[in-house]
Amino acid sequence: MADSAQAQKLVYLVTGGCGFLGEHVVRMLLQREPRLHEIRVFDLHLGPWLEDLKTGPVQVTAIQGDVTQAQEVTAAVAGAHVVIHTAGLVDVFGRASPKTIHEVNVQGTQNVIEACVQTGTQFLVYTSSMEVVGPNTKGHPFYRGNEDTPYEAIHKHPYPRSKALAERLVLEANGRKVRGGLPLVTCALRPTGIYGEGHQIMRDFYRQGLRLGGRLFRAVPASVEHGRVYVGNVAWMHVLVAREMKQRAALMGGQVYFCYDASPYKSYEDFNMEFLGPCGLRLVGTRPLLPYWLLVLLAALNALLQWLLRPLLLYAPLLNPYTLAVANTTFTVSTNKAQRHFGYEPLFSWEDSRTRTILWVKATEGSAQ
Ligand SMILES: NC(=O)C1=CN([C@@H]2O[C@H](COP(=O)(O)OP(=O)(O)OC[C@H]3O[C@@H](n4cnc5c(N)ncnc54)[C@H](O)[C@@H]3O)[C@@H](O)[C@H]2O)C=CC1
Ligand SMILES: CC(C)[C@@H](O)CC[C@@H](C)[C@H]1CC[C@H]2[C@@H]3[C@H](O)CC4=CC(=O)CC[C@]4(C)[C@H]3CC[C@]12C
């Protein structure tokens, strides 16, 4: 919102502000949004690191709350100029029930929208996902696609379904009159697989490799490319959209934007090795060591075990029918819509993103070297 009132002191609310992406958004706002008066960090689980942010000139307000509780959301939104809604259950491993995923990701998003309308907050940025598009259940590749590329989006898994429903709510809310009579301006950002400092799945792969004597075993063909994007660039895109959407409401309102940077197109596993290799791990096999049908069988066995063990414990391995299917389907984006609409350029180069991620992985549990 680059307007003449540069001195205007703004109040931002970041839901999910203590999550992997959310923390980077909070820190990016503090570093690169000069008009901030207050940043409200709303999350079910508040991080201890928030206390360290309270020593600066910007008021940092930690709010422990649940997006499924409308009154808690309304109280947190009231008085905010901008809401960046990243909170969500990012679960493709069967940890949460489909009902809970829907309640958090869809009803929670509806609560945020209604809170903006009821309290007069005019700008809402929603963290959507590539999964709103695909990969679809037919395994159709999405190769170097953009926001306008035709693609048969078919969702059966609770997570992508919830993201698609929530994104539609956000885009349809664009233009609604908020309290005071001004129009609500909404945007949805679609990151591909986010990586970087704080990525728990990367940490899980690292730990798995350490347990296996410094080795990981290829399960996905190197030819299956997956788009990935550095968390710092995703955070930067959120900050930039929030800044520009007031001046460019007619152009940006109700739009979706893929999050992208210069991260290379590689298979999910080969991309992870860009970071895990320098930390001492080795990816065994130039092609999958097990035939696909056996991987399908093992994934199904994992799903069965999860169901059988659920009354006793949570068994949620990385390999399940959904993760195997997604990992084995090419999904890459090539677009410049964010650059054309609001001047986005990645803040972090591939080299910088890679170095930062490697340093983080090494710091998590020392190096395997
Ligand atoms: N991690 C990835 O590769 C991608 C993530 N996204 C989206 O980015 C957003 C953030 O994802 P991550 O940072 O990866 O996940 P995360 O799990 O690290 O962060 C989500 C945050 O939301 C909070 N949260 C969950 N349920 C809540 C509730 N009921 N009320 C309030 N807060 C709640 C969690 O405590 C957590 O801090 C999500 O909306 C996700 O769908 C989109 C594309 C890729
Ligand atoms: C066990 C092997 C088959 C291994 O390769 C499985 C990898 C698998 C855990 C990941 C492969 C693709 C990932 C997803 C993708 O990056 C898109 C996503 C978008 C989101 O909004 C949330 C995360 C995720 C679903 C991501 C999750 C992990 C993978 C399935």
Residue-wise pLDDT tens digits, 175-214: 999 999 999 999 999 999 999 999 999 999 999 999 999 9
For residue 13, the 8-state DSSP code is: E
Farthest CA pair distance, the chain? 62
Rounded to two decimals, the pTM is: 0.96
pLDDT surpassing 80 at residue 365? no
**pLDDT classification of 1: cutoffs 50, 70, 90:** low
* Nearest residue by C-alpha to atom 41 in ligand 1: 90
Tokens for 309? 């063990």
Tokens for 26? 């909070």
Could you tell me if the CB of 333 is within 6 A of ligand 2? no
Asked if residues 244 and 2 have their Cβ atoms less than 8 Å apart, the reply is yes
What's the pLDDT at 364? 86
| Residue 333 to residue 148: CA distance in whole angstroms | 11
The single residue listed with the structure tokens 């895109």 is 237
Q: Which of 42, 90, 163 to mutate to test the pocket of ligand 1 (most atoms within 8 A of CB)?
A: 90
* Nearest residue by C-alpha to atom 25 in ligand 2: 92
User: From the DSSP assignment, how many helices (H) and strands (E) are in the chain?
Assistant: 13, 13
Could you tell me if the CB of 19 is within 6 A of ligand 1? yes
Q: How far is the CA of 62 from the centre of ligand 2 (A)?
A: 30
Could you tell me if the CB of 324 is within 6 A of ligand 2? yes
The answer for residues whose C-beta is within 8 angstroms of residue 322's C-beta and 6 or more apart is 92, 157
**pLDDT classification of 7: cutoffs 50, 70, 90:** low
Q: How far is the CA of 298 from the centre of ligand 2 (A)?
A: 17
Pick the range with the lowest mean pLDDT from 6-10, 40-44, 126-130: 6-10
3-class DSSP assignment, residue 356: helix
Tell me the ligand closest to 135's alpha carbon. Answer: 2
What's the pLDDT at 77? 98
| Residue 184 to residue 164: CA distance in whole angstroms | 20
Mean pLDDT, range 330-352, rounded to an integer: 98
Q: Which of 256, 323, 331 to mutate to test the pocket of ligand 2 (most atoms within 8 A of CB)?
A: 323
Could you tell me if the CB of 327 is within 6 A of ligand 2? yes
What's the pLDDT at 369? 44
Q: How far is the CA of 326 from the centre of ligand 2 (A)?
A: 7
Q: Among this protein's residues, is 268 annotated catalytic?
A: no
Could you tell me if the CB of 90 is within 6 A of ligand 2? yes
Indicate the average pLDDT of the chain: 95
| Residue 234 to residue 4: CA distance in whole angstroms | 26
- Closest ligand 1 atom, residue 201 Cα: 1
Asked if residues 237 and 277 have their Cβ atoms less than 8 Å apart, the reply is no
Percentage of the chain exceeding pLDDT 90? 95
What's the pLDDT at 56? 87
Taking CA atoms, 8 is separated from 4, 36, 185, 242, in Å, by 9, 8, 19, 15
pLDDT surpassing 60 at residue 232? yes
Taking CA atoms, 155 is separated from 110, 133, 218, 318, in Å, by 20, 9, 27, 20
The answer for residues whose C-beta is within 8 angstroms of residue 345's C-beta and 6 or more apart is 339
Taking CA atoms, 294 is separated from 80, 138, 300, 301, in Å, by 52, 19, 10, 10
* Nearest residue by C-alpha to atom 17 in ligand 2: 193
Indicate the residue type of 137: T
Residue 190's nearest CA partner among 225, 152, 154, 241 is: 241
Q: pLDDT (tens digit, 9 = 90+) per residue, 276-326?
A: 999 999 999 999 999 999 999 999 999 999 999 999 999 999 999 999 999
